[in-house]
Structure 1
């Protein structure tokens, strides 16, 4: 199958996910440098998400393949990077929040993906991302980027001002992660309510 440019960008996003995970888990890279590198790769990967949708709409290249694969690539990008954060002992003080994020995201995505497959197979309807789903994805991207970059920014600021750096105080990380959890649950409920009518329990 010949893929158009938006679909190629989506596939590229999938390819970049293991790169992020490998770089983030290399033991010999110092914590702050690792956070910066992972954040850079993660944001670069997230930009492909923004570009593929924009190009697809502008050039009329929206396909069922793209509608299905795009949110799948988003899931791998977010979940893979959260596992990198969970892997780092320096983030142990927010481990419970990261685990909560992963649990809610995985359960939400399993429910929505299962519904996508059932509705697509039974009714021939491809469920594309709605506005809440897009806000959810953006909130997760912002939360992960903040989690990775806040320690780096704090350290740079502390060195510039001569203040003591305490890597355990990450207020923006807490706020953005909690907001992303709320949006994850909310958007999941919205999807299920919208497409529940297409599920036939007798099939």
Structure 2
């Protein structure tokens, strides 16, 4: 790395917001209404459009992984990306939870949806606002929560119970897969609560540590 005439190393150039990771993040945000429309078309009973909804959700989850990897590998982390990326993630999963709650229309699914969305947006808003000087690393439980959520919501986006009415031999596989998806959803729900507890616990500890540290 070259140095200036004063012997100081120049600061790295700030990456432009016009880059591939941010474009993929923006794509995820744009896909949200299309996913919601496809999922809820004909009250969620359309096999074709539920399959399309799954495809959109799959693309969103893949781009979520890809844009982060590219941003870190090419040093393309921007302020826009830091803000837009979690918003895009919560928007697509939030649409999935709400859409599936409308389709399933059960008290327990609505309960899971409300609890998960309150936790997710509370953590996201806290990270983006009051935690500018406090860094909370992503816990392992949070990473497993994200994986379980993606798998559960992706599977439930498919017409697993509806397809048996059209293709008889898919009835049992559909029911089994639906059961697996519900188990994954419950696992994600538990991990959501636990990782949320860990996050707020770590926030309290760090802020308490900062307050108790004597000024230099």
- Fold shared, TM-score > 0.5 on shorter chain: yes
SS of the equivalent of 1:103 reads helix
Structure 1 stretch displaced more, 175-184 or 68-77: 68-77
Q: Which runs of 5+ in 1 are unaligned?
A: none
Match of 2:51 among 36, 52, 77: 36
**Would you say how many aligned residue pairs link Structure 1 and Structure 2?**
193
The structural deviation recorded for 1:137 is: 1.6
CA separation of 1:164/1:42 partners in 2, compared to 1, >3 Å: closer, same or farther?
closer
For 2:12, the equivalent position in structure 1 comes to none
- 2:119 aligned with 1:104, yes or no? no
Instruction: Provide runs of 4+ in structure 1 moved above 4 Å.
Output: 125-130, 163-169
Distance 1:126 1:81 in 2: 29
Alpha-carbon RMSD: 3.2
Match of 2:186 among 167, 178, 182: 178
For 1:141, the equivalent position in structure 2 comes to 150
For 1:25, the equivalent position in structure 2 comes to 40
Distance 1:2 1:8 in 2: 9
Higher helix share: 1
Paired residues of 1:10 and 1:49 also in contact (CA < 8 A): yes
TM-score (norm 1): 0.79
Paired residues of 2:45 and 2:162 also in contact (CA < 8 A): no
1:30-60, Cα deviation, whole Å (9 max, x unpaired):
4322321111111111111011111112212
Q: Which runs of 5+ in 2 are unaligned?
A: 1-15, 212-216
- 2:70 aligned with 1:58, yes or no? no
Higher Cα Rg, which structure:
2
